[in-house]
Structure 1
Amino acid sequence: MSGKNSKVIAALMIGYTMVYMDKTMISTAVIPIAKQFSLNTTQTGLIMSAFFLAYSCMQIPGGWLADKVGAKKVLLFSLISIAVTSYLFGIVGSLFMFVGIRFLAGLGHGGYPPSTSKAIAENFEPHQRVLAQSGILTTTGIGGILAYTLGANVIEWHWRYGYYMLGTLFVVAFLCVLFMLPNDQAVVKTEESVQEKMPLSQTLKNPSVILIFIILLLENVVTYGAMSWMPSYLTETFDLTVAQAGAIMAVSAILQIIGSLGTGIILTRVFVGKQKQFIITSAILAALGIGGLIISTNIIVAVICVALSGMFIVSTFAATASWPQKIFPEEIIGSASGIVGTGGTLGGFIAPLLIGALVNNAGGNFSVAFIFMAVSLLIGAFISLLVKD
């Protein structure tokens, strides 16, 4: 990999790390927020879901903008807007404002994933893109480690300080992308290039785009369901502090890094041309780990199940999220990534609210929620058999 490409990967990873730190840190922040403002799980679920509703709304426009005005401009706007909303979240003090600020944060987040895919397509050869995308997706684990260690410990001190810190880190990420990512390729205005641009309506007619949209929706019901509620499960079931639950989740985040990196390596060296088989295998292993949480009453067994299920959930997601880089042409990669990413973020919107309601209706028991998550993951995995490579 060239020096230029290394800088591209580094810049995108720094930004993505902050994006995932923000997504993850809210799951620990809502614990003291709920206590301070007497919120139930449905209300805290609303705070988390508002973010993903806005995130979903911005995925397709974000991808379209990346195709039209260039990835770097959209990435920079995303990072600075998230910095502002992070500072604001640390200031406000009502359910209405918490929901509103997280909604605005979701709008900022929405442009980052499709613009990252566009930046990869602009700077890497086709055979390098899956590995590059998988490498960047390791930030799910890195961001999680930061959220569950640094973030959780600052939140233990006071949740407001956690968001002041987060806003500052986003400013740093903004500067890294500004100076390390090459300027966007000039928008080509020749008649030939205009003809090569595929309209959004044509992208939507591609069956594989719609199928991956559905798969990512189901996978992210699980990904963000676990991210949003696992700290609450650990603190309530085993009477742990936020910092203790964060330490357990950090172990899971480390294994998520291994899972994401391993996915890129395995798909390019072992499971070459066998993306579907890998997705199904990983989903089954993740579902078994989730199932272990249903029957576990021992903290050690629970930690093992949380860690292993987290690793295989991320492996399943990484294999699916990197798929568009292999099967879609460069001229629609931004739009296609935005569309399929919308499915993922809709899953993120559904998960906190639905799982919060399931837990409430079960009197605080998480078993029904875990069954729902495992089944969703398996259905999504088997739908992958319908995708045309």
Structure 2
Amino acid sequence: MSQEKPKNNVMLIISIMLGYALTYMDKNMISTAIIPLKAELSLTASQSGLLMSMFFIGYTVMQFPSGWLSDKIGPKKVLLISIGTILIATIFFGFVSTLVLLMVIRLISGLGHAGVPTSSTKVVANNIQPKQKMFVQSLILSTSGIGGILAFTLGSSLININWRYAYFGLAILYVVSIIMIFIFFPKESKNPNGEQLKKADKVPISVVFKDKNVFILFAALLFLNIVLYGYLSWLPSLYEANFGFGIKEISIILSTNAILMSVGALSSSFLVNKVFKGNDKRFALISIIVCALACIVFAMTNSLTISIIMMFIFTLSSNAVFVTLFSWPHKLIRQEVIGSSIAIINMGSTIGGFLAPTITGYLITVFGGNYNVAFIAMGISALVSGFVILLVRTKPVTTRKYNYN
């Protein structure tokens, strides 16, 4: 059979990147939208944190089912269902005005978001040459920065007028994403040699649960995402409280920060291969230590200049770690069950994402509106993630033996 044309793969990757960027726009935009929402609904920091956390309950619950379905029925169907669910939730979020309904809708949105990373990773595993997989995965994950830019420019501009307009605008972009998936995704998943993949059930699902790396990466991403989502959730509120910034000023800083998210994501693949000679673990450990120190210094300084510098260093290092951990499965895990494996691994991310705003919101409330203690706690969580990364077994998947019995 003939190999799929490169230009089709380019459009396929662009389609995945758009969907990924919009999910990150959604995740980032809530941290700015929460400012007018707090004022409109008279929310406390704890209530605001709970609203942001509801998203991650749905995300966590649906992680493994969406990964398993990506392996069984194909990633295109899962991605269409997922983004369709997010689209409906986004439209309704712009209409309701009570805390309970907003929480329910964010929960449903999280259910939809769960299918995006698992199905996207499955597409990469099925359609991209092995040597290119880590770079393509890094490229896709770099759209977290693009999503941030969209959230803190287009999203924040609309939020500044009326926060509801931002969600209606996001819904329109989701429609575009669905159309692109219909057009550019292949009807049948194929491997890089152009041969149709056999059913994933030729490798039993038990292989996933016997692989220690799956659960080590799960734990590493859990503690890392406590940092990432705690940081993103409360960064706008910290600048408002500590430096008196309005939404416009916050948007400028966070837009620049979002660009660095993409830089950190894209540079990770290059640095691992060229500078660290394929030693993912060493790169991840150095980056996570830099991330933790930057977060702690950020919390302790009263200088706006130093806080911005530390924020930028944090963003570069934390996103480099995240992309490295999320790309590792392409080297360490069997392609046939990568959807299910990524689902479990990413569940660590979602649990961390759920815990982050809730824990940090509680700390902020307990310490009388002091954000610094919460950010120091995030730095400690980053160091814990580093200790977990030490446990990763880096033996390539091709040389590892599995007991299928």
Q: Which residue of 2 aligns with 1:172?
A: 176
Cα-to-partner distance string for 1:221-277 (whole Å, 9 max, x where unaligned): 111111111111111111111121121111111111111000011123222331111
Deviation at 1:307, TM superposition (A): 1.7
Deviation at 1:176, TM superposition (A): 1.3
Alignment partners' CA distance in 1, 2:204 and 2:67: 12
2:42 counterpart of 1:71: no
1:316 to 312, 318, 321: 321
- What pairs up with 1:75-94 in 2 under 5 angstroms? 75-94=79-98
Q: Which residue of 2 aligns with 1:294?
A: 299
Deviation at 1:134, TM superposition (A): 0.5
Q: Is the 8 A contact 1:252 1:308 kept in 2?
A: no
- What pairs up with 1:173-212 in 2 under 5 angstroms? 173-185=177-189, 193=198, 197-212=202-217
Q: Is the 8 A contact 1:149 1:243 kept in 2?
A: no
Q: Which residue of 1 aligns with 2:121?
A: 117
Please tell me the residue identity of whatever aligns with 1:59: Q
Deviation at 1:186, TM superposition (A): 8.0
2:283 counterpart of 1:278: yes
2:288 counterpart of 1:247: no
Cα-to-partner distance string for 1:340-388 (whole Å, 9 max, x where unaligned): 0001110000001010001111111112211111111111122112111
1:28 to 29, 32, 41: 32
- What pairs up with 1:1-389 in 2 under 5 angstroms? 2-185=6-189, 193=198, 197-389=202-394
Deviation at 1:196, TM superposition (A): 5.8
What's the % identity of the aligned pairs?
Answer: 39
Q: Is the 8 A contact 1:71 1:116 kept in 2?
A: yes
Using the size of structure 1 for normalisation, the TM-score is 0.96
Q: Is the 8 A contact 1:249 1:307 kept in 2?
A: no
Q: Is the 8 A contact 2:71 2:200 kept in 1?
A: no
1:388 aligned counterpart, secondary structure: coil
Alignment partners' CA distance in 2, 1:388 and 1:255: 30
Q: Is the 8 A contact 1:145 1:254 kept in 2?
A: yes
Alignment partners' CA distance in 1, 2:310 and 2:297: 6
Gaps of at least 5 residues in structure 1 are none
2:188 aligned counterpart, secondary structure: coil
Compute the RMSD of aligned alpha carbons: 1.6
Cα-to-partner distance string for 1:140-192 (whole Å, 9 max, x where unaligned): 100001101110111011101111111111111111111122223289xxxx9
Please tell me the residue identity of whatever aligns with 1:358: L
Alignment partners' CA distance in 1, 2:341 and 2:277: 22
Alignment partners' CA distance in 1, 2:203 and 2:304: 53
Alignment partners' CA distance in 1, 2:367 and 2:277: 43
Deviation at 1:299, TM superposition (A): 1.8
1:293 aligned counterpart, secondary structure: helix
Alignment partners' CA distance in 1, 2:320 and 2:385: 14
Q: Is the 8 A contact 2:123 2:189 kept in 1?
A: no
Q: Is the 8 A contact 2:68 2:339 kept in 1?
A: yes
Alignment partners' CA distance in 2, 1:207 and 1:62: 21
Please tell me the residue identity of whatever aligns with 2:371: F
Q: Is the 8 A contact 2:72 2:199 kept in 1?
A: no
Alignment partners' CA distance in 1, 2:54 and 2:201: 37
Deviation at 1:100, TM superposition (A): 0.2
Q: Is the 8 A contact 1:197 1:332 kept in 2?
A: no
Across the two proteins, how many residue pairs are aligned to each other?
A: 385
Alignment partners' CA distance in 1, 2:238 and 2:117: 29
Alignment partners' CA distance in 1, 2:117 and 2:199: 24
Gaps of at least 5 residues in structure 2 are 192-196, 395-405
2:189 aligned counterpart, secondary structure: coil
Q: Is the 8 A contact 1:131 1:268 kept in 2?
A: no
Please tell me the residue identity of whatever aligns with 1:52: F
Cα-to-partner distance string for 1:271-293 (whole Å, 9 max, x where unaligned): 23311111111111111211221
Q: Is the 8 A contact 1:52 1:345 kept in 2?
A: yes
The runs of 4+ residues in structure 1 deviating greater than 6 Å are none
